[in-house]
Chains A and B, each alone.
Chain A
Amino acid sequence: MTERYVPVGWNVTKLVYDAVALAVIGIYISVFLWVAPAFQHVTLPLDDYAMRMNAFGTCAFLLLSLILSIGPATRLDPRFLPLLYNRRHLGVLTAAVAVTHAYAALDWYFSYGLYDRFEMLLRGNTSFLQVHGFPFELFGIFALLILLLLATTSHDFWLRFLTPRVWKTLHMSLYAAYLSVILHISFGALQVAQNPLLAAVVLLCVVGVAVLHVAASRRPVTTPITDGWLYAGAVDAIEEDHGIVITPPDAAEPIAIFRHAGHLSAVTNLCAHQNGPLAEGRVIDGCITCPWHGYQYRLDDGRAPPPYEEALATFRLHIIDGHVWIDPVPNIPGTFVAPVAVP
């Protein structure tokens, strides 16, 4: 929603968000390096380099689990929304931590070899037919490449260049990265870990993330069409300055209906920025406000207030005996539709 290119549109919220994230990462790494030596097995002591590799590796895994939990947690409880606003910053930080882990691993395993470190990493282990000793590094490399790709394309420039649909599809590859990270840990660290704490933490994170996603992805109830009009429920079910979402029975996208100042308006539920769920947002200053990043749209024509140029598809609706009916055929984005007064 910027009118000119800026690397990052810094504001106080973003600065605080990043400062807290950096502080938490720094504290975690420091505490890990301070506490972990006391828990290592007496027969397999680790030196400082290996400790550093483990500290950054576990930190990247925990951050990735956190990032994947933010979306579903927000859908289940809006109090997590502040974590969502700058989730991309957390993603970039995670990629940086993961790169540090990879660099430490390269140093630890291949510094004294006869061949190039990267060549040793890719060709040094070919034990593909056994669990213990499997070249788990390859899973880590795959996950790291995805994290770097997502971090590189996290800026709004790429969102506009690729279009929200392609960008979102690309960034769903984070799920593949998480699967790859789990394989990396399972075939690597878990095979040699002497302390059960790592296995417990990994299992807890994996189950937690999966349960959150399944719980938050309940299938929406589709609304039947009568004489070309969708039934959207009773007017009283829509709170002032809030929205509800209506899901048509065909493959059409969901529709958001908002109530503001005694009138109803309907627009697509997809924010023009990242396809965020507008009906989960609120009306602020007379504009629909996306819960994800605060993009705003006018209620009567779905247009972002000047100087911004985004526009949403609008829908016709009417009220009969206190019940709302909506025409599921979308208007061209930005088309004016007079809000309907609530009797």
Chain B
Amino acid sequence: MRRRHRDVHRVTWRVMAFLLPAIVLLSLMMRQTGPTEAPQVQLAPPK
């Protein structure tokens, strides 16, 4: 591999090594938790 490609490759993966797990973990932390289902819609008044 050419030196320039190798240097780009090295820097890219040093950044990605932190970035990729951080994205996954952050997205997991920001998930909506608890009840997420909409309440049931009452179509007609109870008899």
Asked if B28 is at the interface (CB within 8 A of a chain A CB), the reply is yes
Do residues B5 and A217 form an inter-chain contact, with CB atoms below 8 A? no
B20 touching A253, Cβ below 8 Å: no
Q: Which residue of B lies closest to A252 (CB)?
A: B3
User: With an 8 A cutoff between CB atoms, is A158 at the interface?
Assistant: no
Query: Are A43 and B37 CB-contacts (below 8 A) given A187-B27, A191-B31, A206-B24?
Result: yes
Which residue of the partner chain, among A179, A217, A270, contacts B9 with CB atoms under 8 Å?
Answer: A217
Residues on B close to A: CB < 8 A?
1-3, 5-6, 8-10, 12-14, 16-17, 19-21, 23-28, 30-32, 37
A interface SS class? helix
Residue pairs across A and B with Cβ atoms less than 8 A apart, 5 shown, are A132-B30, A178-B16, A190-B31, A191-B32, A213-B16
Chain A residues numbered 191-227 whose CB sits less than 8 Å from any CB in chain B = 191, 199, 202-203, 206-207, 209-211, 213-214, 217, 219
Task: Give the dominant DSSP class at B's interface.
Answer: helix
Name the residue on A nearest B1 (C-beta): A275
Please judge, given known A-B contacts A43-B37, A131-B27, A270-B2, whether A172 and B21 are in contact too, CB under 8 Å: no
Q: Residues of A contacting B12 with CB < 8 Å?
A: 172, 175
- Of the candidates B3, B20, B31, the one having the most CB atoms from chain A within 10 angstroms of its own CB is B20
A175-B13, A203-B21 provided; 12 other pairs, C-beta below 8 A?
A172-B5, A175-B12, A179-B16, A179-B20, A191-B32, A203-B24, A206-B21, A213-B9, A214-B13, A219-B10, A270-B1, A270-B2
Q: Nearest Cβ in chain A — how far from B19, in angstroms?
A: 7
Q: How far is the CB of A204 from chain B (nearest CB, A)?
A: 10
CB nearest neighbor in B for A292: B1
Q: How far is the CB of A175 from chain B (nearest CB, A)?
A: 5
Cβ distance A305 to chain B, nearest Cβ, rounded Å: 24
Q: Bound complex: CA of A268 vs CA of B27, how far in Å?
A: 46
Interface, chain A (partner B; CB < 8 A): 43, 131-132, 165, 168-169, 172, 175, 178-179, 182-183, 185-187, 190-191, 199, 202-203, 206-207, 209-211, 213-214, 217, 219, 251-254, 270, 275-277
Rounded to whole Å, the gap between the CB of B8 and the closest CB of chain A is 7
Q: What chain B residues lie within 8 Å of A172 (beta carbons)?
A: 5, 8-9, 12
User: How many Å lie between the Cα of A191 and that of B28 in the bound state?
Assistant: 7
Given the complex, which residues of B lie within 8 Å of A217, measured CB to CB? 6, 9-10, 13
> Within the complex, what minimum Cβ distance (angstroms) separates B18 from chain A?
8
Query: What is the bound-complex CA distance between A263 and B26, given in angstroms?
Result: 57
Which of B5, B9, B21 contacts A210, CB < 8 Å? Answer: B21
User: Once the chains bind, are A253 and B2 in contact (CB under 8 Å)?
Assistant: yes
Contacting pair B1 A182 (CB below 8 A): no
Give the complex CA separation of A172 and B12 in angstroms. Answer: 10
